[in-house]
Structure 1
Amino acid sequence: MGPLQIKDILQTSPENQSVTVKGWVRTKRESKNAIFIALNDGSTIHNIQAVAEPGQFSAELLSTVTTGSCLKITGQLVESQGSGQAVEVKIDDILVYGTADPESFPLQPKKHSLEFLREIAHLRPRTNTFSAILRIRHALAFAVHQYFNDGGFFYLHTPVITASDAEGAGEMFRVTTLDLNKLPRTEEGAINFKEDFFGREANLTVSGQLEGELGAMALSKIYTFGPTFRAENSNTTRHLAEFWMIEPEMAFFELEDNMNLAEDFVKKVITYALIHCKDDLNFLQNRLAEEDKNKPQNERSIPLLEKLSFVVDNPFERLTYTEAIEILLKSKPHKEKKFQYPVGWGIDLSSEHERYLVEKHFKKPVILTNYPKEIKSFYMKLDEDGKTVRAMDVLFPGIGEIIGGSQREEDYDKLLGRVKEVGIDPDNLWWYLETRKFGTAPHSGFGLGFERLVLFVTGMSNIRDVIPFPRYPKSAEF
Structure 2
Amino acid sequence: MGPLQIKDILQTAPENQSVVVKGWVRTKRESKNAIFIALNDGSTINNIQAVAEPGQFSAELLLTVTTGSCLKVTGQLIASQGAGQTVEVKISDIEVYGTADPEEYPLQPKKHSLEFLREIAHLRPRTNTFGAILRIRHALAFAVHQYFNDKGFFYLHTPVITASDAEGAGEMFRVTTLDLNNLPRTEEGAINFKEDFFGREANLTVSGQLEGELGAMALSKIYTFGPTFRAENSNTTRHLAEFWMIEPEMAFFELKDNMDLAEDFVKKVITYALIHCKDDLNFLQNRLTEEEKNKPQNERSLPLLEKLAFVVDNPFERLTYTEAIDILLKSKPHKEGKFQFPVGWGIDLSSEHERYLVEKHFKKPVILTNYPREIKSFYMKLDEDGKTVRAMDVLFPGIGEIIGGSQREESYEKLLGRVKEIGIDPENLWWYLETRKFGTAPHSGFGLGFERLVQFVTGMGNIRDVIPFPRYPKSAEF
The two structures have a TM-score, normalised by structure 1, of 1.00
Measure, in 2, the Cα distance between the counterparts of 1:188 and 1:320.
50
1:312-361 Cα deviation digits (max 9, x unpaired): 00000000000000000000110111111000000000000000000000
1:203-229 Cα deviation digits (max 9, x unpaired): 000000000000000000000000000
Question: What is the CA distance between 1:389 and its match in structure 2?
Answer: 0.1
- Larger CA deviation: 290-299 vs 317-326: 290-299
Question: What is the CA distance between 1:128 and its match in structure 2?
Answer: 0.1
Question: What is the CA distance between 1:289 and its match in structure 2?
Answer: 0.6
1:274 aligns with 2:285: no
Q: Secondary structure at the match of 2:46?
A: coil
Measure, in 2, the Cα distance between the counterparts of 1:99 and 1:296.
44
Measure, in 2, the Cα distance between the counterparts of 1:324 and 1:334.
13
Measure, in 2, the Cα distance between the counterparts of 1:430 and 1:162.
14
Question: What is the CA distance between 1:123 and its match in structure 2?
Answer: 0.1
Measure, in 1, the Cα distance between the counterparts of 2:386 and 2:186.
42
Question: What is the CA distance between 1:83 and its match in structure 2?
Answer: 0.4
**Cα-Cα RMSD:** 0.3
Measure, in 2, the Cα distance between the counterparts of 1:270 and 1:197.
43
The two structures have a TM-score, normalised by structure 2, of 1.00
- Larger CA deviation: 295-304 vs 359-368: 295-304
Q: Secondary structure at the match of 1:145?
A: helix
Give 1:369's aligned residue. Answer: 369
Question: What is the CA distance between 1:270 and its match in structure 2?
Answer: 0.2
1:134-190 Cα deviation digits (max 9, x unpaired): 000000000000000000000000000000000000000000000000011111111
Measure, in 1, the Cα distance between the counterparts of 2:397 and 2:63.
49
Measure, in 2, the Cα distance between the counterparts of 1:300 and 1:24.
35
Question: What is the CA distance between 1:401 and its match in structure 2?
Answer: 0.2
Give 2:20's aligned residue. Answer: 20
Q: Secondary structure at the match of 2:319?
A: strand
Measure, in 1, the Cα distance between the counterparts of 2:8 and 2:296.
41
Q: Secondary structure at the match of 2:182?
A: coil
Question: What is the CA distance between 1:296 and its match in structure 2?
Answer: 1.1
Give 2:112's aligned residue. Answer: 112
Q: Secondary structure at the match of 2:159?
A: coil
Query: Among the aligned pairs, what percent are the same residue?
Result: 93
Question: What is the CA distance between 1:299 and its match in structure 2?
Answer: 1.1
1:262-307 Cα deviation digits (max 9, x unpaired): 0000000000000000000000000001001111111111000000
Give 2:136's aligned residue. Answer: 136
Question: What is the CA distance between 1:261 and its match in structure 2?
Answer: 0.2
Q: Secondary structure at the match of 2:294?
A: coil
Give 1:149's aligned residue. Answer: 149
1:431-453 Cα deviation digits (max 9, x unpaired): 00000000000000000000000
Q: Secondary structure at the match of 1:389?
A: strand
Q: Secondary structure at the match of 1:269?
A: helix
Question: What is the CA distance between 1:132 and its match in structure 2?
Answer: 0.2
Q: Secondary structure at the match of 2:133?
A: helix
Q: Secondary structure at the match of 2:106?
A: coil
Measure, in 2, the Cα distance between the counterparts of 1:139 and 1:339.
37
1:369-399 Cα deviation digits (max 9, x unpaired): 0000000000000000000000000000001
Measure, in 2, the Cα distance between the counterparts of 1:350 and 1:171.
21
Measure, in 1, the Cα distance between the counterparts of 2:464 and 2:174.
23
1:223-259 Cα deviation digits (max 9, x unpaired): 0000000000000000000000000000000000000
Alignment of 1:46-125 (within 5 A): 46-125=46-125
Measure, in 2, the Cα distance between the counterparts of 1:295 and 1:46.
29
Q: Secondary structure at the match of 1:214?
A: helix
Question: What is the CA distance between 1:201 and its match in structure 2?
Answer: 0.2
1:21-69 Cα deviation digits (max 9, x unpaired): 0000000000011000000000000000000000000000000000000
Measure, in 2, the Cα distance between the counterparts of 1:43 and 1:104.
26
Measure, in 2, the Cα distance between the counterparts of 1:393 and 1:405.
6
Measure, in 2, the Cα distance between the counterparts of 1:56 and 1:409.
75
Give 1:429's aligned residue. Answer: 429
1:69-95 Cα deviation digits (max 9, x unpaired): 000000000000000000000000000
- Gaps spanning 5+ residues in structure 2: where? none
Measure, in 2, the Cα distance between the counterparts of 1:81 and 1:292.
35
Measure, in 2, the Cα distance between the counterparts of 1:360 and 1:474.
38
Question: What is the CA distance between 1:459 and its match in structure 2?
Answer: 0.3
Measure, in 1, the Cα distance between the counterparts of 2:232 and 2:354.
22
- Gaps spanning 5+ residues in structure 1: where? none
Measure, in 1, the Cα distance between the counterparts of 2:45 and 2:100.
21
The count of aligned residue pairs is: 478
Measure, in 2, the Cα distance between the counterparts of 1:312 and 1:234.
31
Q: Secondary structure at the match of 1:293?
A: helix
Measure, in 2, the Cα distance between the counterparts of 1:185 and 1:298.
61
Measure, in 1, the Cα distance between the counterparts of 2:432 and 2:292.
49
Measure, in 2, the Cα distance between the counterparts of 1:352 and 1:299.
14
Measure, in 2, the Cα distance between the counterparts of 1:336 and 1:33.
67
